[in-house]
A = this chain, B = another copy of it.
């Protein structure tokens, strides 16, 4: 009560009501923008735009792929179907590494190397965690400035959050559209700490793991199994005082990779050092990727892997959808909790619980 009195009109602490904040975007501009955005394109507009490599239209087609509106999805599927015969003529490269390893700088540097060689590069990201993708979008915008202004490069930030399966589908379909638009090198970037590396590994031709020297702590963040998927390990920031440490790490990784069983590709994973920031040995990374391409084109592992991947995604999608249909049934959800408790308390065996739930589901 006291304080209220003090703030009366006559108080020296009284503050007059301020004027309204002006809108941050001019209403007229907003209207124009919305009109522009609403001008919907026909299927043919999309197909022709993509075919002639129109980046604005490619971008809008990817937005359709990422949309969850049924009408958008339907149109997206029609676009994809017509783009499929044009897709596939690219080299798909997965790039992973924990935050702090210098992924954006590396992609800028390798991307510059690639576009210098008359390639057209599209950079996509896969990252199912919403928190992190918000970070990435900002990060990509500020960090990949050179590449973003490069006319031969196309950068698309992570799709908005969703399940890994959904994000993987969106990324794979966006990749097909980029290929149809004439991009012959595709980077797919992940953060190296989650399940998404397996998804990326299953949609690229070459899988590159970025590491730092000083093998101890930096590795902590890399998930088990990722090192075994790598076709090459690039030890970044190999410059200045760090050079010796990087070379030592290279030797260590080389002898560790030697202990892994050989991949069916016939390729032995390579370890290289580089400095993305100072543009040192980035061409060596590119040469390694080219060596891989030569070897696996010759021994026909390349097309075989592509076919395997196309089949993998068909079966993977079926299996995911089967599961999601089962686990989203309301009665199953309730029962599942009770059954889980029964299993943990030794009242039911895991198999009995599963069988009983399945019997009820299939009866319907």
Contacts and interface: CB of A to CB of B under 8 A. Distances in A.
Nearest to A253: B259
A4 interface: no
B321 A224 contact: no
Interface residues of A, number: 63
18 contacts: A77-B349, A81-B349, A84-B346, A215-B259, A219-B261, A221-B261, A223-B261, A224-B228, A225-B225, A255-B255, A307-B344, A313-B351, A314-B350, A315-B354, A318-B354, A318-B358, A319-B323, A322-B323
A354 B256 contact: no
Interface of A: 77, 80-81, 84-85, 87-88, 169, 172-173, 176, 215, 219-225, 227-228, 252-253, 255-256, 258-263, 307, 310-315, 317-319, 321-323, 325-326, 339-340, 343-344, 346-355, 357-358, 362
A173 B317 contact: no
Nearest to A314: B350
Contacts of A221: 261
A215 B255 CA distance: 11
A340 to B, nearest CB: 6
Contacts of A222: 261
A268 to B, nearest CB: 13
A70 to B, nearest CB: 12
Given A319-B319, A321-B354, A326-B318, A224 B260 contact: yes
A312 B354 CA distance: 11
Given A221-B261, A224-B263, A317-B351, 9 more contacts: A84-B349, A172-B350, A173-B351, A220-B262, A224-B228, A252-B255, A256-B256, A311-B343, A318-B357
Kindly report how many copies of this chain are found in the complex they form together.
2
A284 to B, nearest CB: 22
Contact of A225 (B228, B325, B340): B228
Contacts of A343: 310-311, 314
A288 B351 CA distance: 32
A18 to B, nearest CB: 53
Contacts of A321: 354-355, 358
Contacts of A352: 77, 80-81
B362 A325 contact: yes
A350 B313 contact: yes
Contacts of A312: 350
Contact of A344 (B85, B310, B339): B310
A318 B315 CA distance: 17
A75 to B, nearest CB: 13
A172 to B, nearest CB: 8
Contacts of A224: 228, 260-261, 263
A253 B355 CA distance: 42
A314 B354 contact: yes
A169 B348 contact: no
Contacts of A319: 319, 323
Contacts of A355: 317, 321
